[in-house]
A and B are shown apart, each in its own frame.
Chain A
Amino acid sequence: MANDDYKILSRNWGKPDSHKLETYLQSGGYEAAKKALTMEPQAVAQTVLDAGLRGRGGAGFPTGRKWLFMPKDDRPRYLCVNADEGEPGTFKDRDIMRYDPHMLIEGILIACWAMQAHTSYIYVRGEFTEPQRRLEAAIEEAYAKGILGNRSLGTDFRLDVHVHSGAGAYVCGEETALINSIEGKKGQPRIRPPFPPQRGVFDMPTTVNNVESIASTPYIIANGPEAYRKFGTEKSPGTKLFCVSGHVNKPQVIELPLGVPLMELIDKHCGGMLKGMKLKAVIPGGSSTPVLTAAECQKVTLDYEALAAAGSMLGSGAVIVMAEGTCMVTTLHVLTHFYAHESCGQCTPCREGTGWMAQITGRIVKGKGKIEDLDLLLSLANGMFGRTICPLADAAVGPVSSFIGKFRQEFEDYIRTQKGPKEKPYPVKWMS
């Protein structure tokens, strides 16, 4: 196995004009789609299922199984690609879309063939102007080359792909909110049942998949499930784009096989701790995943099972690294403020709970907190968890419970000693 055999998603990044069709074709692009179009649609889905690809947006649900959920009636079917990428710390789908949009388009073709869907919307968050433009250009190239359109790759299969821009709402990353947003409505999640395969976009059967999940499928079809399973672990096969940010020397998006030890990711691949600072905590999978202390980080590997066993989650694979000197109180408030801002407002526990939590942490940060506030926050978190229409409330609970749970002393000291906001909540001076 060559050194970077596992660079499945990112293999073309760094090439000049990597986003152009010629570049993609040169490295075997669209061969997998051609192969898929000769297979039975069901077989394509089964292949992806056999490869063990799990949803890379955060939920980790087997992608092939999702495709197989689509009903076999004759209503028009839709694939919605979730490029809303709003989870704080996550910035991987952006790179797929701007550096290798054709890999995504090929994956869309494969997925739509498997599900016999003739229309796909790529829901890209509104702020991602560059990725949207690259995608639109790539789609145009694909139509011009007959990859998309009435006779995809020379077959009878019709496929239309459109970019649909979001407009500033993290909640639209939730699949039913995303569907509502495409329909021209507020991005408010729907109560389920019915689920998207029964009633999705325009009430038609719909599957929603993350960008990275879809972009992983050409490799699987071209090389087979066994080849994909060569990488990663048994329960978490394949590769993942890890987004590393925070206090490391080389923050970046890096593709590695699942199961890589967290400390290896930081030390070997990301240049180690920023300026040699000492590690304090890591959020392993995006802001919604429970934080790990430096001690917990030492042994943990980055795959679905290990992180679940450690009491956290792989999530979107957004690794946020915090060095000693990071104020956990200030940081928690940054996050509670985020969830309060993003709550769609539909259901009681999330709407009022996220707002209240942000007010309490805001007061603590300003030096006006009380010791009782900590247990109150934990209690509010309990009141929200598992009680809402969508998991945004659960996501908001992640940081609140884990930060207070694991850094309680720091919170209590802050409350007792701080008279106002901390002067230096972060060990980094904004310069250089």
Chain B
Amino acid sequence: MPKIKINGRELEVAEGITILEAALSNGIYIPHFCYHPHLPISGNCRMCLVDVKPGPPKLSISCATTVAEGMEIETENEKVRAARAAVMEFILKNHPLDCPICDQAGECVLHEYYMKYDLKPSRLFSPEDKVKKQKRRRLGKHVVLDSERCILCTRCIRFVRNVSGDESLAMVKRSDKMEITTFPGKTVDNPYSLCLTDACPVGAWTSADFRFKQRVWFLQPSASICPHCSRGCNIWIDHRREEAFRIRPRVNEQVNKAWACDEGRLNYHLINDDRLTLPLINSGGGQKEISWKDALKTAGAMIAEAGENLSVIVSASLSLEEGKALLSLQESLGAKVMLNTGEPGWEDNILRQSDRNANTKGLTDLGIAESLDNGLDDSAVLVVFETLGSAPLPEGIPAPAIVISPSVTPAVKAAKVALPAASYAETAGTVVNFMGLSQSYSSALKPKGQALSHAEIIAKLSAAAQKAGE
């Protein structure tokens, strides 16, 4: 374990790591653009230059210099400060003054670094010297590239080549005419294209979905777990005034590193749109809104009447806590509880799992193992618990009697009684991913309208059924 000094502070660090890694892991910040902990080293931005002794008279890039016993590194002396300010000036020379319309404002590394390491006035006495490049090109279904804002750190190139594993991006030409682009006529359409917007330290890559929607300083980030497949990527739900605006990945070395898939991210729309907010009943003349009291009374009666024919179909994304509540329901009502895991989807060796549910492993380990495939006959009285975006009911089963769901789904529309449930974004819970890892989430938003959590609804249904049976 080599002993080194950074700014006079003695540190014992791991063998074979870089100066930058040693510094960052010891709370010493060295500014950098092109370095990314989950991408290969590039060494092109030159922002992380530090003074190393013993060493060459030139400054060294800390991202690519391995620590050695006895190294003394200075990260804040005159030489280093001057070098940083120079890099900032060189980047800003061609950087467009887009801040007032750029989505990145508020989370822009270039902006932050200007305030911390530069604060010098521009010496671009002739603004027409700014190199013009292509702006706001829709280079993929979800992403927009502005080449003038691009600082050519190559994180996006390294992302597609090393993480999403494709050849969709090129860095063409040379000198200050260099640009990131796609092969003529082609687009970036891998399932992780929105990761480019996270990897990009400036507003060059932006999300077409999020563009101009909200200033990030108004957004509240809440930590959560994506429920749309069994990986359970860690995410941030960014919201304001009870509306979700975007989902970003949250770093978790074991589960999803720094990445998330486009589909999972864009499913934040499900949190906002088509939510079931009031109980509904269909007594023959179409669905009408009713009160919880009346809904529960009707539902309770239906359950009590069903007796042995009662079947409970649940989304495999319900949490462990909700699962436990279901098991007690199963006991008290003697109903068959079945998991609706839905059709397996495509999977890859990056993030996506074919199991499109958050908690299949957790729920089956709890004992809810019976699969929906085991056939239901016409006499079955179905109580269906759905979660946000969960699998629809398969063809050929009888129309559901009671549906508990966060959204207005086909099942909800077909139900006799529909009860509004909170989604994962509005409750707390624990899910177990395909690795067997337990992950918890807590609520980001308040339940919509009169929605209640699944756990509360289960308790109330149980009570209503008991009462009706007396």
The contact of A383 among B45, B58, B90, B125, by CB within 8 Å, is B90
Binds B, one of A124-132, A145-153, A338-346: A338-346
Give Cα A171–Cα B175 distance, bound, in whole angstroms.
11
Binds A, one of B81-89, B137-145, B292-300, B369-377: B81-89
The contact of A356 among B49, B61, B87, B93, by CB within 8 Å, is B93
Give Cα A383–Cα B41 distance, bound, in whole angstroms.
23
Q: Which 8 A-B pairs rank lowest in CB-CB distance, beginning with the nearest?
A: A383-B86, A355-B176, A345-B178, A352-B90, A191-B43, A386-B58, A343-B175, A345-B174
B126, A363: Cβ atoms closer than 8 Å: yes
B175, A348: Cβ atoms closer than 8 Å: no
For A169, the chain B residues whose CB sits under 8 A away are: 174
User: Least Cβ distance of B36 to chain A in Å?
Assistant: 15
For B175, the chain A residues whose CB sits under 8 A away are: 340-345, 351, 354-355
Give Cα A237–Cα B87 distance, bound, in whole angstroms.
41
Given A356-B129, A387-B59, A387-B86, check contact A348 B91 (CB 8 Å): yes
Among B43, B151, B173, B176, the most chain A Cβ lie within 10 Å of the Cβ of B176
Is the C-beta of B241 less than 8 angstroms from some C-beta in chain A?
no
A349, B46: Cβ atoms closer than 8 Å: yes
Is the C-beta of A376 less than 8 angstroms from some C-beta in chain B?
yes
Is the C-beta of B444 less than 8 angstroms from some C-beta in chain A?
no
Among A171, A382, A383, A388, the most chain B Cβ lie within 10 Å of the Cβ of A383
For B64, the chain A residues whose CB sits under 8 A away are: 191
Interface string of A341-373 (1 = CB under 8 A from B): 111111111011111100110010000001011
For A388, the chain B residues whose CB sits under 8 A away are: 46
Given A191-B41, A370-B125, A389-B44, check contact A349 B86 (CB 8 Å): yes
B125, A372: Cβ atoms closer than 8 Å: yes
The contact of A359 among B91, B126, B151, B174, by CB within 8 Å, is B126
B174, A343: Cβ atoms closer than 8 Å: yes
B61, A348: Cβ atoms closer than 8 Å: no
For A383, the chain B residues whose CB sits under 8 A away are: 82-83, 86-87, 89-90
Given A347-B45, A348-B87, check contact A373 B178 (CB 8 Å): no
A–B pairs, 25, beta carbons within 8 Å: A171-B174, A186-B174, A191-B41, A191-B43, A191-B61, A343-B174, A344-B174, A345-B152, A346-B44, A346-B152, A347-B44, A347-B45, A348-B46, A351-B175, A352-B90, A352-B91, A353-B90, A355-B175, A355-B176, A356-B90, A360-B129, A383-B83, A383-B87, A383-B90, A389-B44
Q: Interface of chain B, helix or strand or loop or mixed?
A: loop
Give Cα A340–Cα B93 distance, bound, in whole angstroms.
15
For B453, the chain A residues whose CB sits under 8 A away are: none
User: Least Cβ distance of A389 to chain B in Å?
Assistant: 7
Interface residues of B (CB under 8 A from A): 41-47, 49, 57-59, 61, 64, 82-83, 86-87, 89-91, 93-94, 123, 125-126, 129, 131, 151-152, 173-178
Among B86, B93, B178, the most chain A Cβ lie within 10 Å of the Cβ of B86
Question: In A377-416, which residues have CB < 8 Å from any B CB?
Answer: 379, 382-384, 386-389
For B131, the chain A residues whose CB sits under 8 A away are: 355
A387, B44: Cβ atoms closer than 8 Å: no
B123, A376: Cβ atoms closer than 8 Å: yes
A352, B176: Cβ atoms closer than 8 Å: yes
Interface string of A319-354 (1 = CB under 8 A from B): 000000000000000000000111111111101111
Q: A348-B46, A356-B129, A359-B126 are in contact. List 7 more A-B contacts (CB 8 A).
A: A191-B42, A191-B61, A347-B44, A351-B176, A351-B178, A360-B129, A383-B90
For A186, the chain B residues whose CB sits under 8 A away are: 174
For B86, the chain A residues whose CB sits under 8 A away are: 349, 382-384, 387
Residue of A nearest to B79 (CB): A386
For B83, the chain A residues whose CB sits under 8 A away are: 383, 387
Question: In A44-92, which residues have CB < 8 Å from any B CB?
Answer: none
Given A359-B126, A370-B125, check contact A345 B90 (CB 8 Å): no
Give Cα A343–Cα B152 distance, bound, in whole angstroms.
14
Number of interface residues of A (CB under 8 A): 35
Residue of B nearest to A355 (CB): B176
B44, A348: Cβ atoms closer than 8 Å: yes
Residue of B nearest to A356 (CB): B93
For B91, the chain A residues whose CB sits under 8 A away are: 348, 352
Give Cα A356–Cα B41 distance, bound, in whole angstroms.
27
For B82, the chain A residues whose CB sits under 8 A away are: 383
Among B41, B175, B178, the most chain A Cβ lie within 10 Å of the Cβ of B175
The contact of A345 among B87, B129, B173, by CB within 8 Å, is B173
Given A343-B175, A351-B176, A352-B94, check contact A387 B49 (CB 8 Å): yes
Give Cα A383–Cα B123 distance, bound, in whole angstroms.
13
Give Cα A216–Cα B459 distance, bound, in whole angstroms.
92
Give Cα A348–Cα B87 distance, bound, in whole angstroms.
7
B151, A348: Cβ atoms closer than 8 Å: yes
Give Cα A376–Cα B126 distance, bound, in whole angstroms.
12
Give Cα A388–Cα B59 distance, bound, in whole angstroms.
10
B176, A343: Cβ atoms closer than 8 Å: yes
The contact of B90 among A191, A349, A363, A389, by CB within 8 Å, is A349
Residue of B nearest to A363 (CB): B126
Residue of B nearest to A373 (CB): B125
B176, A387: Cβ atoms closer than 8 Å: no
A345, B89: Cβ atoms closer than 8 Å: no
For A384, the chain B residues whose CB sits under 8 A away are: 86
The contact of A349 among B41, B87, B174, by CB within 8 Å, is B87
For B57, the chain A residues whose CB sits under 8 A away are: 386
User: Least Cβ distance of A176 to chain B in Å?
Assistant: 12
Residue of A nearest to B151 (CB): A348
User: Least Cβ distance of B94 to chain A in Å?
Assistant: 6
Give Cα A171–Cα B82 distance, bound, in whole angstroms.
27
User: Least Cβ distance of A355 to chain B in Å?
Assistant: 4
Residue of B nearest to A169 (CB): B174
For A360, the chain B residues whose CB sits under 8 A away are: 129
Residue of A nearest to B179 (CB): A345
Give Cα A390–Cα B106 distance, bound, in whole angstroms.
34
